[in-house]
A and B are shown apart, each in its own frame.
Chain A
Amino acid sequence: MEALLLQVLNGLDKGGAYALIALGLTLVFGTLGVVNFTHGALFMLGAFVAVSVEKVLTISSKVRDESITFFEAYKETPYLEIWWGDTGAAIIDWSVPISIIIAIPIMLAVGIAMERGLIKYFYKREHADQILVTFGLAIVIGEIIKANFGANAIPQAAPEVVSGSVDIGAAIGLDGVVYPWWRMIYLAFSLSIIGGVFAFLHMTTFGMVVRAGMHDRETVGLLGINIEKRFTIVFGLAAVVAGLAGVMYTPILPPDYNMGMDFLVLSFLVVVVGGMGSLGGAVAAGFLLGILQSFSSMTAVKEIIPGIDQVIIYLIAVAILLFRPRGLFGKD
């Protein structure tokens, strides 16, 4: 029971990341009809916004270390700590959450620039062309990151307060269900972002127009609404969602320039399982596949079917594509 609960929890935070990336992917596909292979790179870009913010915050200078008295010792101290003492140290400690605020405008700008600068010209081309050009762009973005940050993964720390673990089991009378705080926060964060996106699409006039455009772009255009402009903003929104997923994922997985490609494949499978263009499907499939993946990595399961943890997502995606091509929740 404890083990099962732990696996569900383990699956949920990974599922949260899958769901967030897949949500953006399917949003772009549903509105613009574009298959965006750059989406994984946007996730990675978000993670590197967090890395850069931390770098900027910890710009330091050498300060005399007064605890050592025998000789003149110097240590690197960030300017923030020199100026503001403990407040500065706290700001550095909270660099990942702070990155969220900075990532939003950056990712929005990147997304809009991408759509206006490149994707726009590919609406009328085949899906294969869209896949290829965005694949090329993903390589370019990855290489730019590699040139600036190196090829090694750069670990990021969660704020001190939430870097420990929480004993969830104690609350519901089970033993040994200990779970890192940050993963709980990631889950809550992804749920609130998903909720935010759905609220935006269903409760605002802008969202209503976008949904109408997803159903019938031509009619919305004929009604005198500039649907293209709105879809551009939707693309920016998808970039923000992917970027935020990346920012918050940094304490869980140290980012490197290649992480986008890994997540891209998985989140494409998530989109396919959920049903291309179905937002709810993408979210549900994201969590579902995340949980299934962590279940399949249990030793008990691996003993029955060896290697299942490596391929479960692919197997499910293949089965869905072959037997139910519109996905679990897709409409015909």
Chain B
Amino acid sequence: MKIIELSTSKRDLLILVVFSVIVLIAPFWGSLIGAGYPDLLQKFAIFGLFAVGYNILFGLTGYLSFGHAAFLGVGSYVAVWSFKLFTMNALPAIAFSIVFSGIFALVIGFLCLRRTGIYFSILTLAFAQMSYKLAYSVLTPITNGETGLFVLKDDPRVIDGALGIASAENPLASLFGITLNGYEGFYFCAVVLILGFWLSMKIFRSPFGMKLVAIKSNQTRMEYTGFNHRPYLLAAFVISGMYAGLAGALLAVVDPTAGAERMVWTASGEVVLMTILGGLGTMFGPLIGAATIKYMENIFSGINDTLLGTWFDFLPQALTDLLVTIVSPFVGSGWHLTLGLTFMMIMIFLPGGMVEGAQKIKAKFFNKSKTEQVESEQLEKDGAA
């Protein structure tokens, strides 16, 4: 698996433009696959962003964190508090979330990064579970415990009050007067996602990103060359924590609530699944993985026996029944089973995820893999110069 690709700024710009177009026309291609409604598209964008950020830590440095949902949760809580105390405008909420989750990630990262490998994973897991348990119990005044945190009509909202913006019955997040729900909410998330993707691409192409990959491939050698890896790891950890906080804030923007269940360790596991499923350490992989899992969660879980029956209707009755019996455990409420199995298959046969699969297929048909192609282009250019 090749993480650092040689690329030119022109090519990067092209990638970014194509990516933006794909994201912005999501309502169109979404409707083709039955996902053309704002709720799901928002989730694509938000969890895509979460996974993109997670990939900066796990994909580049190879440090497997099982606690990133904690940062997502912190981001959500901070955003909702910003809605409650200051204004329903989304921008301050996002800014606060990024800052707070960044500080939180700095503290936790500073402690966790003292250990490597499995010990690092367990430390992050322990910290995340601790945050989750505390959010449920002692921190109830801040988190509102099991009920979750809501935005109410008679919250103070100092800034809105000063500007004379009246409080609605069920306040929704807004952007200078535009209410951010439905497609407006999606486009807001989409723009943030594009910015986040652009930043992640910058990191991938930067010397900083290169150093992170160097730490992944041989940390000991980096140490022996007199390279202090800790600040770089910590920076990667904090950046990915901020991405998670941003994703949490966006969750609160499109639906102004926050609950502790977003922080439980299996929620952290989900972002790991997304990243791996799509393609660890690739720029697009985490996005594809996040979209796949959210698509499965919303579409697969809606498939029931009756619907299956109509799909296989063209077959003889006995065969239809047989197929429905075989397929039904894997859809509907059993979609997690499909997810788990797919994930295991990917881990066993295709550690590079769906992106690696696509590259393999491409290499088979075009006889030349993508990375080789870029390399040869680069060589040609060097030769010309």
Contact = CB atoms under 8 A, between A and B. Distances in A.
A322 B62 contact: no
A318 B126 contact: yes
A157 interface: no
Interface stretch (A227-235, A237-245, A304-312): A304-312
Interface string B133-146: 11011110000000
A296 to B, nearest CB: 12
B92 interface: no
B334 A321 contact: no
B347 A127 contact: no
A265 B115 contact: no
Tell me the interface secondary structure of chain B in the complex: helix
Given A129-B351, A136-B347, A321 B115 contact: yes
Interface string A24-50: 000000000001000000000000000
A314 B126 contact: yes
A129 B272 CA distance: 11
Nearest to A125: B351
B136 to A, nearest CB: 7
A231 B83 CA distance: 57
A116 B138 CA distance: 45
Given A143-B334, A261-B266, A322-B111, A272 B122 contact: yes
Interface in B68-119: 111, 114-115, 117-119
B198 interface: no
Contact of B121 (A128, A137, A140, A307): A128
Contact of A128 (B64, B115, B265, B337): B64
A112 interface: no
What 7 pairs between A and B have smallest CB-CB spacing? A307-B138, A139-B340, A143-B337, A140-B340, A310-B133, A136-B344, A133-B347
Given A131-B64, A131-B121, A133-B344, A311 B130 contact: yes
A35 B119 CA distance: 11
A135 interface: yes
Contact of B138 (A135, A139, A310, A325): A310
B129 interface: yes
Assign chain B's interface to a size class.
Answer: 35 or more
Interface string A147-161: 100000000000000
A321 B119 contact: yes
A307 B139 CA distance: 9
Given A147-B329, A269-B126, A314-B130, A140 B114 contact: no
Contacts of B250: none
Contacts of A146: 333-334, 336
B21 interface: no
B133 A311 contact: yes
Contacts of B115: 321-322, 325
A317 B339 CA distance: 31
Contacts of B276: 132
B125 interface: yes
Contacts of A306: 137-138
Among B118, B123, B136, max chain A CB count under 10 A is at B118
Given A132-B347, A265-B129, A315-B130, A321 B340 contact: no
Contacts of B333: 146
A63 interface: no
Contacts of B37: none
Nearest to A305: B138
A23 to B, nearest CB: 17
B337 A310 contact: no
Contacts of B139: 307
Contacts of B272: 132, 135
